[in-house]
Chain A
Amino acid sequence: MQASHDTHDHAHGDHGDHAHHGRAPGLMGWFTTTNHKDIGTMYLWFSFVMFLVGGAMSLVIRGELFAPGLQYVSPEFYNQMLTLHALIMVFGAIMPAFVGFANWMIPMMVGAPDMAFARMNNWSFWLLPPAAILLTGSLFVPGGAAGTGWTLYPPLSVQMGLGMDMAIFAVHILGMSSIMGSINIITTILNMRAPGMTLMRMPMFCWTWLVTAFLLIASMPILAGAVTMLLTDRHFGTSFFNAAGGGDPVLFQHIFWFFGHPEVYIIALPAFGVVSHVIPAFSRKHLFGYTSMVYAIAAIGLISFFVWAHHMYVTGIPLTGQLYFMYATLLIAVPTGVKVFNWITTMWRGELTFETPMLFALGFLFLFTVGGLTGLVLAITAVDIQLQDTYYVVAHFHYVMVAGALFSAYAGAYFWLPKWTGRMYDEALGKVHFWTSIVFFNVAFFPQHFLGLAGMPRRIPDYATQFTDFNAVSSIGAFGFGFSQLIFLWVVLKNIKGGEAAPVKPWDGATGLEWTLPSPVPYHTFEDPPVITEEHLAAAH
C-alpha cells in the first residue's frame, strides 16, 4: 500500500504539488477539506463535544431529580433540558459518531481512495454546526427552547415559542446532512469496492452501514415532512394536527414514529457493526455466521418500518392494531437474537483477551441484551399500557442507546485509535474508563426500572417521596458516569500528544484491509485499488 502512495506522489509532480499532499494549513484546511479521514475526525470530535453538551444537560436533569420537590430549575427549563438532551444526544452525538467511523473506515475497508462524493461529504459535516447553533441557541431566545421532548408531539409543539421553530429548522438541516451522508455511504459501498471485494465478503461494519444508510434515506424525509407540517400548522393555518379542522394530533405520532422506529436501528446497526469487528479480533476467530449476520441486519432494517405504533399503544389504536404491532415488534427479537448468539459463538473456544475495546464490546453485549429484553417486555401491549411514559421506558432506551450504541462507539474508538494516530493509547486508563463507565451506568439506570415499575412518570421534574431513594442512587450514578467520560478525553489527548508507536496491526486477531495500512494511516490510501486476498477479509468463510 505504501507503494501505491509513492506512485501517486510522483504522478503529481507537474500539477502543482500544493493540491494533493495534505490539508491546507489552519482552520481553512478543515473548512475546505475533501479528505474522508479529515472529515471523519471532524465528525468524531463534533460528536464528542455534543456528547459533553448533552451530558451536561442530563446532569441538570439528574441534579433536579436527586430529591423530590423543585430545587434548581423551573419545570419549563427542566422540559427544555430533557428535550435538548435527547435531540443533541440522538442527532448530535450518537449519529455523527458512527458517521465519523463510517467516514474513516469504510473507504479503507473496501479499498477505495475516498468517499464517492468527497466534496459533498464535507458539506454533510459542515451542516451539523449550523444545526447545533440553532438547537443550543434556542435556549437563549424568548420563551426558551422546545420543551416537548424529542418527539415534538402536537398540540404542545404547535403552541410553543420560536425556540420550537429553531428546533424544526435544525431537524431539517440535520436531515439534509444525513441524507447526503447516506447517499455518499451507499454509493461508496456499492460502487467503490476494490476488485474481488464482493458484497458477501465485505466487512460487517460496511454491511451495517449499507442498511443504515438505506434506513436514513427512507426515514429522514418522513421526519422532514412531519416537522414541515408542524411548521405550517404553527404559522400558516393548516389543520394537519388540529381536530377542529378535521386533522388529528395522533397523525403526527404516526408520522414521527414511522421515522422514529427506523431511527432506533439507524443508531443500533452501526453499533452492531463495530462490535462484529471487535469481538472476532479479541477472540482470535472469524466472525461466526457471517451470512446469517448479513441477513439478520437486512431483516432488522426491513421489519423496523412495520412496528412504529408500538410507541403508541395508549393513543386509542384498535385492538387488532395493538396485536399486529405487538407481534411484529416481537419478531425483531429473532434477527437480533441471531446476532447476539453469533457474537457469543464467535467467542466460544476463542483465545480471548480483554483489552479495552473488547471490554467495551462485552459491556455492550451484556447491557444491550438487557435493553433488548426490556424492549420485549415493553412490546407486549398489556404490559406497555401500564409502563407507557414511566421510568421503565427511560431505563430501557438508555440501556440500548448508552450501553448499546455509546459503548460500541467506545469499543470502536479504542480499537481503531492506534490506526488513526499511530500510537497506542494508555491501556490502564482505558480500563479505568471502562470500569467506571459500566459501574456508574448501571448505578444510574438500573434503579430506573424499579422506579418505572413502581409508577414514576417520566418528563416530570418532581416526584412522590416514595421514589426518593432510587432517584438519589440514579443521580449519583449519572454524575459518576458523566465525569467518567472525561477519562476518555484524557486518553485521547494523551494519545495525540505521545505514546508508544503502534505497529501496522496492533491487534493480532484483527482482519480487514485497514490493518494492511501503516499506522498512522497516510493521508491518501488506496488511490489504486488494492488486490484483495483471503487473509484481508474480515469475513473469510
Chain B
Amino acid sequence: MSNPSASRYFIPQPSLWPMVGSLALLLMASGAVLTMNSIANGGFVLLAGFAVLFYMLFGWFGSVIDESEGGNYNLQVDQSFRWSMGWFIFSEVMFFAAFFGSLFYIRVLSVPELASSAQQLYSGFAGFVGTWPTAGPAAEAAKTEFHAMHATGIPLLNTILLLSSGATLTWAHWGMLAGKRKQLVLGLFLTIALGLTFIGFQAYEYYEAYNHLNLKMTTGVYGSTFFMLTGFHGFHVTLGATMLIVILIRSMKGHFTAERHFAFEAVAWYWHFVDVVWLGLFVVVYWL
C-alpha cells in the first residue's frame, strides 16, 4: 500500500501484470495469424495466449479488488474510475458505429448502386435486383436461396429479455442503495439469468440460421452484417454477463456499500450499453 494517507491519490505499486497482458496479446495475435493461415500448431499458441490473458485478468482485477477493499481508493480515485468507464464505453460505441455505418452504407449506397442501370450495363451483374435482404449479385445469379431472420419470434423475445434485465439490475441497485443485500443479490442473479437466457437464445438462433435458413457469414452482405453486428453484440453480452457474475460473487461476499460501489455501477453502465446497442440492432438488423 504505497499511499497510506487517505487524502493522497493512490498510485499502484510496480506491477508485472501489464507485461503479462502484453505477452498474452502477442501470443493471441501470433496464434490467430498462424491458425487463420492453417499453419501447424497455431491453435496451441492461440490457446496459450488466452490462458495467459485469463491469468492476467484474474491477477490484475484481483489486485484492484484488494486495493479497493483495502480502502486505498479515495473519492478522487473513484471519480477517475467513473471518467474512465464512461470514455471506455464511448470507445465501444464508436466500435459498433463502424459496423452500423457499414450496414447503412451497404443498404443505402452499395446495393442500390450494384442494381443501378449503369452497373447493369457495364458490370457482370446484369439482372441483379438488389432488394434487401440480399446476398449480393453473385449469389443471386447462382440462385442461392436463403431466409432472412424475422424480427418477431426470438429477436423480439430477446428484446424483452434484455429490457427486463435492465429493470432487474436497477432494482438490484435500489437494493444496494437501501442497504438491502438480499435484494441486491437476487436482482443481480435475475439479471444474469436473463442475460444467459439471451445468449442461449442467440446461440439457438445461429444454429437455426446455419442449419435451416441457409444464412451464414458467407451469405453476402446480409450474412456479413447480420453475423458481425449480432456476433459482436453477443460477445459484449457475454462479457457483461461475466462481469455481472463477478459483481454477484463480490456482493455475496459483502463487498460494496450504499456509498461506495463503483464496480457495480460500471458494470451496470456497461450492461445498459449492450442493451441500447441491442435496441439499435433490433430495429435496423432484424426489423427494417
Asked if A226 CB lies within 8 Å of chain B CBs, one says yes
Instruction: Please give, as numbers and ranges, the residues of chain B lying within 8 Å of A258 by CB-CB distance.
Output: 101
Query: Shortest beta-carbon distance, B186 to chain A, in Å?
Result: 33
Segment at the B interface, from A165-173, A347-355, A380-388, A431-439: A165-173
A126 and B20 alpha carbons, distance in the complex (Å): 10
Residue pair B2, A225 in contact (C-beta under 8 Å):
no
Asked if B47 CB lies within 8 Å of chain A CBs, one says no
Query: Which residues of chain B in 122-139 are interfacial with respect to chain A, using CB atoms and an 8 Å cutoff?
Result: 123, 125, 130, 134-139
A283 and B217 alpha carbons, distance in the complex (Å): 62
Residue pair A246, B15 in contact (C-beta under 8 Å):
no
A248/B37 contact (C-beta < 8 A), A114-B9, A187-B80 known = no
Number of interface residues of B (CB under 8 A): 73
A225/B33 contact (C-beta < 8 A), A126-B22, A255-B101 known = no
Query: Shortest beta-carbon distance, A58 to chain B, in Å?
Result: 26
Residue pair B136, A246 in contact (C-beta under 8 Å):
yes
Query: Which residues of chain B in 224-239 are interfacial with respect to chain A, using CB atoms and an 8 Å cutoff?
Result: 224-225, 227-228
Closest partner residue, chain A, to B110 (CB atom): A248
Residue pair A239, B221 in contact (C-beta under 8 Å):
yes
Instruction: Please give, as numbers and ranges, the residues of chain A lying within 8 Å of B18 by CB-CB distance.
Output: 32, 119-120, 122-123, 126
Residue pair A34, B13 in contact (C-beta under 8 Å):
yes
Asked if A112 CB lies within 8 Å of chain B CBs, one says yes
Query: Shortest beta-carbon distance, A318 to chain B, in Å?
Result: 10
Query: Shortest beta-carbon distance, B244 to chain A, in Å?
Result: 22
Residue pair B14, A34 in contact (C-beta under 8 Å):
yes
Residue pair A229, B102 in contact (C-beta under 8 Å):
yes
Scoring B residues 1 to 23 as 1 if CB is less than 8 Å from chain A, else 0, what string do you get? 11011001101111111110111
B94's partner among A119, A126, A187, A218 (CB-CB below 8 A) is: A218
Residue pair A186, B22 in contact (C-beta under 8 Å):
no
Asked if A19 CB lies within 8 Å of chain B CBs, one says yes
A254 and B105 alpha carbons, distance in the complex (Å): 9
B15's partner among A122, A222, A248 (CB-CB below 8 A) is: A122
Residue pair A225, B99 in contact (C-beta under 8 Å):
yes
Residue pair A113, B9 in contact (C-beta under 8 Å):
yes
Query: Shortest beta-carbon distance, B146 to chain A, in Å?
Result: 12
A335 and B157 alpha carbons, distance in the complex (Å): 51
Query: Shortest beta-carbon distance, A131 to chain B, in Å?
Result: 9
Residue pair A232, B217 in contact (C-beta under 8 Å):
yes
Instruction: Please give, as numbers and ranges, the residues of chain B lying within 8 Å of A20 by CB-CB distance.
Output: 2
Query: Shortest beta-carbon distance, A40 to chain B, in Å?
Result: 15
Scoring B residues 50 to 84 as 1 if CB is less than 8 Å from chain A, else 0, what string do you get? 00000000001000000000000000100110011
Scoring A residues 234 to 259 as 1 if CB is less than 8 Å from chain B, else 0, what string do you get? 11111110111111101100110010
Query: Which residues of chain A in 117-148 are interfacial with respect to chain B, using CB atoms and an 8 Å cutoff?
Result: 117-120, 122-123, 126-127, 129-130, 133-134
A15's partner among B1, B109, B225 (CB-CB below 8 A) is: B1
A246's partner among B12, B26, B88, B110 (CB-CB below 8 A) is: B110
B224's partner among A120, A162, A187, A245 (CB-CB below 8 A) is: A245
Closest partner residue, chain A, to B231 (CB atom): A232
Query: Shortest beta-carbon distance, A262 to chain B, in Å?
Result: 11
Residue pair A173, B19 in contact (C-beta under 8 Å):
no
Instruction: Please give, as numbers and ranges, the residues of chain B lying within 8 Å of A217 by CB-CB distance.
Output: 87, 90-91, 94
> What does DSSP make chain A's interface, helix, strand, loop or mixed?
helix
Closest partner residue, chain B, to A19 (CB atom): B2
Residue pair A11, B4 in contact (C-beta under 8 Å):
yes
B29's partner among A31, A126, A173, A221 (CB-CB below 8 A) is: A173
Asked if B208 CB lies within 8 Å of chain A CBs, one says no
Query: Shortest beta-carbon distance, A118 to chain B, in Å?
Result: 5
Query: Which residues of chain A in 277-298 are interfacial with respect to chain B, using CB atoms and an 8 Å cutoff?
Result: none
Instruction: Please give, as numbers and ranges, the residues of chain B lying within 8 Å of A19 by CB-CB distance.
Output: 2, 13
Closest partner residue, chain B, to A14 (CB atom): B4
B98's partner among A118, A184, A226, A237 (CB-CB below 8 A) is: A226
Residue pair B94, A219 in contact (C-beta under 8 Å):
yes
A130's partner among B29, B39, B227 (CB-CB below 8 A) is: B29
Query: Shortest beta-carbon distance, A35 to chain B, in Å?
Result: 8
Closest partner residue, chain B, to A20 (CB atom): B2
B12's partner among A118, A129, A169, A221 (CB-CB below 8 A) is: A118
B8's partner among A161, A182, A186, A527 (CB-CB below 8 A) is: A527
Instruction: Please give, as numbers and ranges, the residues of chain B lying within 8 Å of A169 by CB-CB distance.
Output: 29, 32-33
Residue pair B37, A239 in contact (C-beta under 8 Å):
no
Asked if A94 CB lies within 8 Å of chain B CBs, one says no
Closest partner residue, chain A, to B29 (CB atom): A169
Query: Which residues of chain B in 172-228 are interfacial with respect to chain A, using CB atoms and an 8 Å cutoff?
Result: 216-218, 220-225, 227-228
A246/B135 contact (C-beta < 8 A), A119-B18, A179-B91 known = yes
Instruction: Please give, as numbers and ranges, the residues of chain A lying within 8 Å of B4 by CB-CB distance.
Output: 11-12, 15
Residue pair B9, A33 in contact (C-beta under 8 Å):
no
A221/B92 contact (C-beta < 8 A), A187-B87, A232-B228, A245-B220 known = yes
Residue pair B12, A222 in contact (C-beta under 8 Å):
no
Asked if B279 CB lies within 8 Å of chain A CBs, one says no
Tell me which of B109, B123, B224 has the highest count of chain A C-beta atoms within 10 A of its own C-beta: B224
18 A-B pairs within 8 Å (CB atoms) are namely: A113-B9, A114-B11, A117-B80, A183-B91, A190-B83, A191-B79, A221-B95, A221-B98, A222-B95, A225-B97, A229-B98, A229-B102, A229-B224, A231-B36, A235-B36, A237-B218, A245-B135, A251-B102
**With A127-B21, A251-B106 already in contact, 17 other A-B pairs whose C-beta atoms are closer than 8 Å:** A117-B84, A119-B15, A129-B22, A169-B29, A179-B88, A190-B83, A220-B91, A225-B95, A229-B102, A232-B217, A237-B218, A245-B138, A246-B222, A247-B106, A248-B110, A248-B113, A527-B8
Residues of B whose CB lies within 8 Å of any CB of A are 1-2, 4-5, 8-9, 11-19, 21-23, 25-26, 29-30, 32-33, 36-37, 39, 60, 76, 79-80, 83-84, 87-88, 90-92, 94-99, 101-102, 105-106, 109-111, 113-114, 123, 125, 130, 134-139, 216-218, 220-225, 227-228
Residues of A whose CB lies within 8 Å of any CB of B are 11-12, 15, 19-20, 23-24, 28-29, 31-34, 112-114, 116-120, 122-123, 126-127, 129-130, 133-134, 161-162, 165-166, 169-170, 172-173, 176, 179, 182-184, 186-187, 190-192, 217-222, 224-226, 228-229, 231-232, 234-240, 242-248, 250-251, 254-255, 258, 527-528
